Chain A
Amino acid sequence: MNRRHALRHIALISGGLALIPSCDFSKDDILAAYQNLKVTISQKALLGAISDTIIPAGEIKGALNLEVPDFILVMVNDCFTKENQDKFTAGLTAFPDYAQKTAGKKFESLTTKEKEELILNGTKLEGDDTPEGIEKGNIAYFLNSTKRFTIQGYMASEYIQTEIIPYSLIPGEYNGAVLITDLQKPRING
């Protein structure tokens, strides 16, 4: 529960030299908090940009304001099988090139509309057994997992559950026949 806090303090180990010598991660520092993933600072920044495209800030805070990328990485690190972790990180690693090839620009340089389209189309990619197909499958897997955890991490955040749609620990006596027209807004928390 304190990992996100710990992250702020120690964040980094020097990347890769001993662990994965032939990998270009050596240029980028690896985040120690997610020991199963070997995610770099720049990859986490990219994940932040993707999650913030999925749920952007506005009058109400967005995914990045609520540290949703940390939640995504915690879930993938702790709750995914090794196989799915590998698919997720492969998809994350392949995503910058995919953006460049598909949209002709770096992801960061795209307009909001273009980013949204790229992500939406990416979630619908269908993979196969060819090297290209495997990469497509990984990108789709990465984007769908990211979207799912962005929604979960955002909706189950302290901010949303206290300030926007308050969660009630004590939901009150049961009423088994409430007319929907009598309700102002559907209850979704507690």
Chain B
Amino acid sequence: MANLNIRSKQERTYQAIVIGSGISGSWAAKELCDLGVKTLMIERGRNVEHIKDYPTTNLLPYEFEHRGQIPQQIQDENPVISRCYAFREDAMHFFVKDTEHPYVQEKPFDWIRGYQVGGKSLLWARQVQRWSDFDFEGPARDGFAVDWPIRYKDIEKWYSHVEKFAGVSGNKDGLATLPDGEFLPGYELNVVEKYFAEQLKKNYGNDRHMISARCAHIHGNADYYAQQGRAMCQNRNLCQRGCPFGGYFSSNSSTIPWALKTGNLTMRPDAVVHSIIYDEEKGKATGVRIVDRLTKETEEFYADVIFLNAAALNSNLVLLNSTSNRFPNGLGNDNGLLGKYVAFHNYRAGVSAEYEGHAEYTTSGGRPTSGYFPRFRNVYKQETDFLRGYAAGFSAGRGVRTNTESVGMELKNNLLNPSEYGPWYVGSHMMGETIPKESNYVALDPNLKDEWGIPQLKISVDYDDNDEKMIKDYIEQMSEMFTKAGFTNIRTRDDKRAPGLDIHEMGGVRMGKDPKTSLLNANHQLHAVPNVYVTDGASMTSTSTQNPSLTYMAFAARAAHHAVAESKK
């Protein structure tokens, strides 16, 4: 028996373990495997294989029983996930339903999750804007959170590294606030979007820009991506179903199959992580304890280095639940700050309008992206009564107007022979930086556990006065920009959504220079347990305004190379 156990332990021993298979985890695994590291990837959900497990990907609209709508009973039972824009009949199988994985909302928080191989990389909005030093220097300049231990120069080459492989389309815009990268040909702004960009230049000098947003879609260099088994984006805009072309970056289409091809990757889906095992004699982490999702049996895996990429809040949960004599309050949590300083992006407000100009034009075909406003508030100096600022999405489009007032043959003719175009419709939504605060936190619920015996996460995150001022400013500024551009019928909204629905929750395991005030060092290692790396949203010291996934990819790749270099010392 003893021998069997030893062999069994050897069989469950790898050089590295990556917890999580989403965007950041799959990047860590891909880099480790490329560097020859025998890697185990642990995923709590089921396996989802590229193409094979995209059941709705080629369905036509009439093949959905409710034409995309989610039935009322499912909405009633799952109010949180039903508020997510992408939770529709075609992609509902990739989202966690409220009833499946309950959590505790000390304050309202819409926690949007995707528990499967690939995680939310199947579902993301694929927007990939780089950070600049205006972002990394924010906390130090404005006196909140702690100073980031890294700057743009530390991450620049890793942005390039991941952009090239993932496939990022964009234009060289030459903006200091939004550095250019390794771009495939960008997508075109339409005639009204271009008009608006020109109006901004005219009305605001060189202060405000609206560009075509960089997106993780293959729009050129097809031979290079064929090596990954991926093809050009076909502009289907059905991304959330999983793309049979691999036209956008997902773990499932790109990094995971690539890592598997090296022969160094072992996948272990259906494994809910209970905790990271800490060996007090060795003074380091030695493995990961899991509970099988289906059999509920406990199993342990071992490795020299552990990457924690469970998605921001679940990475917090894993560390909080990894207790030992040395770390009674969670792994690496000597200063009591684990789970605190959680932040997110403020998506509450939007402004829309109509435009009567350019009436002779419309658009044709499809594109996977739209316009983007880099932050223009408080960039070079503090100029408003709130800290930081917001980016914004922007797009213009034109619909066909059908008169449906009548019934009978007249209605039928109107429906089948649409002839009249409506005015151009323009719309924008804000993406505001929020300030991480100790009072915005996650913790383990002392009583409630999930089906696998793991404490439920308690979330206590809210807006503050800075966010309210920013919403007001966004609405004022965007309305002014719209007015100056000649847009009419301007409508503003603040939908008062709970935090979380932005799906950009971050922090709790923040990076910093000082172990007294942060959890991770400049290389994403836990200060107190350096063979544990956290390279997902949990590691974020501040949030800036950009969609964060690209930065997680770059962090994961950089940290993987660091771990391998350390192991060779």
Tell me whether A and B are bound partners.
yes
* In the complex, residue of chain A having the shortest beta-carbon distance to the beta carbon of B420: A186
Fill in one digit per residue for B50-71: 1 if any A CB lies within 8 Å of its CB, else 0.
0000000010111111110111
Of the candidates A1, A62, A151, A175, which one forms a contact with B63 in the assembled complex, judged by CB atoms under 8 Å apart? A1
Fill in one digit per residue for A71-95: 1 if any B CB lies within 8 Å of its CB, else 0.
0001100111100000000000000
B65 touches A1 (CB 8 A): yes
A13 within 8 A of B: no
How distant is A73 from chain B, measured CB to nearest CB, in Å?
A: 12
A186 touches B400 (CB 8 A): yes
B357 within 8 A of A: no
Q: How many of chain A's residues touch chain B, expressed as a range?
A: 35 or more
Distance between Cα atoms of A178 and B367 in the complex (Å): 15
A116 touches B415 (CB 8 A): no
Question: Are A177 and B361 CB-contacts (below 8 A) given A147-B407, A170-B235, A170-B236?
Answer: yes
B407 touches A79 (CB 8 A): no
Which residues from 111 to 132 on chain A have a C-beta closer than 8 Å to any C-beta of chain B?
A: 112, 116, 119-120
Distance between Cα atoms of A50 and B411 in the complex (Å): 14
A157 proximity list for chain B (CB < 8 A): 62
How distant is B403 from chain A, measured CB to nearest CB, in Å?
A: 12
Interface-central residue, B70, B361, B421, by most chain A CB under 10 Å: B361
Distance between Cα atoms of A94 and B191 in the complex (Å): 52
Binds B, one of A41-49, A102-110, A160-168: A160-168
How distant is A29 from chain B, measured CB to nearest CB, in Å?
A: 24
B363 touches A161 (CB 8 A): no
Q: How many of chain B's residues touch chain A, expressed as a range?
A: 35 or more
A156 within 8 A of B: yes
Question: Are A172 and B365 CB-contacts (below 8 A) given A78-B71, A151-B415, A186-B418?
Answer: yes
Question: Are A167 and B364 CB-contacts (below 8 A) given A56-B412, A79-B66, A156-B67?
Answer: no
Interface-central residue, A62, A151, A156, A173, by most chain B CB under 10 Å: A173
B364 proximity list for chain A (CB < 8 A): 171-172, 174-175, 178, 183, 187
Of the candidates A74, A181, A185, which one forms a contact with B360 in the assembled complex, judged by CB atoms under 8 Å apart? A181
B60 touches A75 (CB 8 A): no
A167 touches B360 (CB 8 A): no
Distance between Cα atoms of A167 and B408 in the complex (Å): 24
Question: Are A176 and B65 CB-contacts (below 8 A) given A119-B407, A120-B407, A183-B362?
Answer: no
B188 proximity list for chain A (CB < 8 A): 174-176
B3 proximity list for chain A (CB < 8 A): none
B400 touches A78 (CB 8 A): no
A55 touches B415 (CB 8 A): yes
* In the complex, residue of chain A having the shortest beta-carbon distance to the beta carbon of B405: A120
Looking at chain A's contact residues, is the secondary structure mostly helix, strand, loop, or mixed? mixed
A169 touches B360 (CB 8 A): no
* In the complex, residue of chain A having the shortest beta-carbon distance to the beta carbon of B74: A78
A165 touches B366 (CB 8 A): no
Question: Are A176 and B190 CB-contacts (below 8 A) given A56-B409, A169-B236, A171-B235?
Answer: yes
Distance between Cα atoms of A80 and B75 in the complex (Å): 11
A80 touches B72 (CB 8 A): yes
Distance between Cα atoms of A21 and B362 in the complex (Å): 59
Distance between Cα atoms of A144 and B93 in the complex (Å): 32
B135 within 8 A of A: no
A53 within 8 A of B: yes
B363 touches A176 (CB 8 A): yes
A34 within 8 A of B: no
A156 touches B61 (CB 8 A): yes
A60 within 8 A of B: yes
A119 proximity list for chain B (CB < 8 A): 407
B67 proximity list for chain A (CB < 8 A): 152-153, 156
Distance between Cα atoms of A165 and B402 in the complex (Å): 15
How distant is A14 from chain B, measured CB to nearest CB, in Å?
A: 26
Question: Are A177 and B60 CB-contacts (below 8 A) given A53-B408, A120-B406?
Answer: no
B189 within 8 A of A: yes
B407 touches A186 (CB 8 A): no
Question: Are A74 and B65 CB-contacts (below 8 A) given A54-B407, A174-B187?
Answer: yes
How distant is B308 from chain A, measured CB to nearest CB, in Å?
A: 39
Of the candidates B62, B72, B238, B412, which one forms a contact with A60 in the assembled complex, judged by CB atoms under 8 Å apart? B412
Which residues from 207 to 259 on chain B have a C-beta closer than 8 Å to any C-beta of chain A?
A: 234-238
How distant is A24 from chain B, measured CB to nearest CB, in Å?
A: 28
B366 touches A79 (CB 8 A): no
Of the candidates B66, B237, B365, which one forms a contact with A175 in the assembled complex, judged by CB atoms under 8 Å apart? B365
B408 touches A56 (CB 8 A): yes
A167 proximity list for chain B (CB < 8 A): 60-61
B236 touches A156 (CB 8 A): no
B61 touches A161 (CB 8 A): yes
B72 touches A173 (CB 8 A): no
* In the complex, residue of chain B having the shortest beta-carbon distance to the beta carbon of A112: B408
A23 within 8 A of B: no
Which residues from 6 to 51 on chain B have a C-beta closer than 8 Å to any C-beta of chain A?
A: none
B69 proximity list for chain A (CB < 8 A): 75, 79
Question: Are A116 and B408 CB-contacts (below 8 A) given A170-B234, A180-B362?
Answer: yes
A79 touches B71 (CB 8 A): yes
Distance between Cα atoms of A167 and B58 in the complex (Å): 12
A154 within 8 A of B: yes
A179 within 8 A of B: yes
A175 proximity list for chain B (CB < 8 A): 188, 363-365
B5 within 8 A of A: no
Question: Are A174 and B365 CB-contacts (below 8 A) given A119-B407, A151-B404, A169-B236?
Answer: yes
* 10 contacting pairs across A/B (C-beta < 8 A): A53-B408, A58-B409, A116-B408, A119-B407, A155-B415, A169-B60, A170-B235, A171-B366, A176-B188, A176-B191
Nearest 10 Cβ contacts at the A-B interface: A176-B190, A174-B367, A177-B191, A172-B365, A171-B366, A78-B71, A174-B365, A186-B400, A116-B408, A158-B62
Excluding A79-B66, A120-B407, A185-B417, 7 further A-B contacts by CB distance (< 8 Å) are A56-B412, A81-B72, A116-B407, A165-B416, A175-B188, A177-B191, A177-B361
